[in-house]
Structure formats: structure tokens, C-alpha cells
Chain A
Amino acid sequence: MAKWISQMVVSLDGKAEGANGSIDWHQVDADYNAYAADLLESAEAILFGRITYELMAAYWTTAEAKERDPVIAEVMNRLPKYVISRTLSQANWPGTTVLQDTSVQLDAEMNSNGNVVILGSGKLVSALSAANAIDEYQLMVNPVVLASGPPFLSTLSPNLLLDLVRVQPFPSGNVLLVYRSRNASR
């Protein structure tokens, strides 16, 4: 079965965004981009919730993005993309399939070797964690405590049985924590 991997940038107090969706506190440097590129290279598809999808679609299709982050832009534009949304009527980013829910269809379409990477998409990740559909959580913990913003990590299922598989600190002070969900199933 394909491994479903959730990748989230989080603050030290477990949030994914500040007030009004602000992510200006994200430390995105060469180390982070190298990590993201590696992760995406291992993926067969990217899965999004609507909000993250719209932000990513608006950015990664631009000439600016392709110039600033050519490696990531290339893989983001190349990979098949799935977005779970009941309200999104059209998805303009080439290579996108809109799904009504996290259906069996996605697994059936995937080759058994490929990983599905879920980028951001906090609401979707919470819902998928409740269904225990995520095999691995990759948290890039930024060295900042936010003054605002909704909780994220506390919205994950309390029934998760997590095994730590990797801890990787970076010079920026970011720390990558990778946890496998022991009893994930889809």
C-alpha cells in the first residue's frame, strides 16, 4: 500500500498558522527546501485540502516561483495532485483531480510503491488522523511560540499510537520530527 505522509510546518506551541492564516514565521531556507525536495521526489502524488491547494496553485504556477525554487516548482507542477473538496468547482492547476472525499478511489489509482504526500492542509490532516488514514507525520518544528492562531496538533486524534522514527535539527533552529502511526489503516 502507498504510504500517506502528512508534512506540516508547526510552531513550538503546535500551531500551523498565526492569526488570519499568517505563515510569515515559517523559516524556509536552503535546508528546508532540500528536505522538501527529497520528500516530494519520493512521492507519487500530492494530496491537499482546499485552502492549501488554492494557495499552492496560485504560487507554484508563477514564473517567480519557478525562478526562486526551480527544483520544488518542477516537482510540484509535475506530480499528480488531488484535492479533497466539495466546494471547489474547478481546479486550474494542471494535473489536478478533485475528489469529494478521501475515497477508496485514491488508493485504487495509486501504484502500491508510491507515497502520497499531504502538504499543509491542517483541516484535512485532522480529519484523516481521526480515520487513522495517515501512516507518517513529518513535523517541521520552528523555534517560535506564536501569540495567535488556532491550535493544530491538538486537533489530531488522541488515539494515535506514534513511534518516533527520526529527529533532525537544522542550523536555522528548525527540528524535523518524523512519527509513524503504528496502527494506521485505510
Chain B
Amino acid sequence: MSRKIIYSQMVSLDGYIEGKDGDLSWSEPDEELFAFIQDMESDVDTHLYGRHTYEAMAGYWPHLEGNTAASARELAFGRDWVQLEKVVFSRTLTEVQWNTTLVRDEVQKAVKQLKNREGGDMLLGGAGLAASLMPLELIDEYQIYLFPIVLGGGKPFFPPLQHHLGLELIQTRSFAGGVVLLRYRTSREVSSHG
């Protein structure tokens, strides 16, 4: 049985993971949500990134030591992030660090190899990479942390699709502040409507 690829994001009510001008101010999880997500991702041992997300993560998490604003939980997460196995898919990046492998082409082949290897779940972080993997039917699970805010525009969680995509709901859960987790798995049958 192959490993699961999970696409998980904070998403606005109208489906964006970033507002216009890269606005992320609305999406900061509180302690409860942060703890829940860490628990949810406890079977994840690999992160998959496109360049944009990798650079954002690498620019923040390894550098928290000594940052007095960071909570204990964030510091722990930062340390875990550095240790986690990471794979970045990018034609333009030339080097990576923090326990990261760079894949420069043949994305589909590389992802299938990763799936067939022994290991835990893989977390897909980034809409750009999701847009590449969705049409290849390589994403197994979608975890949408839906925030009660309308952004009106920005970077969408879902890329444009060729066909309608039917999903199977596997879990819902609400959190303080009106956030709702909507968790879906890829349906066995592919819808032919479009």
C-alpha cells in the first residue's frame, strides 16, 4: 500500500490560501488549532514543496532559536521541521538545505517513487505544487481549515481543473474562532462531468 499525500492548508471561506498581496494575516492558528494540526500530522514524515513555499518555510522555521516572540510550541515545531525529510520540486532552485532533497524534473516519476517507498504520510505544502499533482491524481487527501473570512481574491487552494472532481468527506470538526476542518479523500470513481 503506497504512502498518502495530504494537501493541507488554512483556507478562507471563499477558497484562498493567501489574500491579494500575499496577505496571510487572517490565517494564523491559535494554540488549539496549532496543537490539533500537529497531532493530525504526527504520521507525516516528509514534506513536499514547490519553491515558493520551501523558501518561505526555510526563511522562518530554522531561525526561531532566540526569538522571544516564538511560543514553546513553535520552537518545538521549528526544530521538528528542520529534522523532517523534505523534497522540493523546482527547476530554478540550485541548492537547498535543512535536510532537503531537490527534484528538478520528472515530477510524476519522482512522486510515484516516493509513494512506493517505505515511510509515513507526505504533506504537500503549496498551491503551485498541488496544481501540478492534482491532474496527475497523486493527491490522496485534502484537509481544508476553513476560516470565516471572505478575501475576495488571492491564491486559490484549488487550481483550475479540466473535469469536476468529486471527493469523499471523511471528517469535519469546528474550532474556536469559527474555523472548520473539512477533510476529504480522493473518491474511488472519477466524475466525468465537466
Contact = CB atoms under 8 A, between A and B. Distances in A.
B13 A162 contact: yes
A147 B13 contact: no
Contacts of A147: 160-165, 193-194
Interface stretch (B27-35, B55-63, B73-81, B149-157): B149-157
B111 interface: no
Interface stretch (B41-49, B87-95, B177-185): B177-185
Interface residues of A, number: 31
Nearest to B171: A169
Interface in A49-76: none
Interface string B168-191: 110011100011101010000001
A14 interface: yes
A158 interface: yes
Interface stretch (A31-39, A83-91, A117-125, A172-180): A172-180
B169 A169 contact: yes
A156 interface: yes
A13 B156 contact: yes
A25 to B, nearest CB: 6
Contact of B151 (A24, A158, A163): A158
Contacts of A99: none
Interface residues of B, number: 36
B177 to A, nearest CB: 8
Interface stretch (A40-48, A102-110, A137-145): A137-145
B184 A143 contact: yes
A148 to B, nearest CB: 7
Contact of B164 (A18, A158, A162, A177): A18
A160 interface: yes
Contacts of B119: none
B120 interface: no
B140 interface: no
B175 to A, nearest CB: 9
Q: Which among B14, B168, B173, B180 has the greatest number of chain A C-beta atoms within 10 A?
A: B14
A163 B165 contact: no
A18 B193 CA distance: 10
A175 B174 CA distance: 12
B50 interface: no
A143 B157 CA distance: 15
Contact of A12 (B162, B178, B182): B182
A90 to B, nearest CB: 35
A153 interface: yes
Interface string B2-44: 0000000000011110000000000000000000000000000
Interface of A: 12-14, 18, 24-25, 141, 143-148, 151, 153-158, 160, 162-164, 167, 169, 173-175, 177, 179
Given A13-B15, A141-B182, A154-B16, 20 more contacts: A12-B167, A12-B182, A13-B158, A25-B193, A143-B168, A147-B160, A147-B161, A153-B15, A154-B150, A154-B151, A154-B152, A154-B153, A156-B150, A162-B148, A162-B178, A163-B148, A167-B174, A173-B168, A175-B169, A177-B180
Interface of B: 13-16, 144, 146, 148-153, 156-158, 160-169, 172-174, 178-180, 182, 184, 191, 193-194
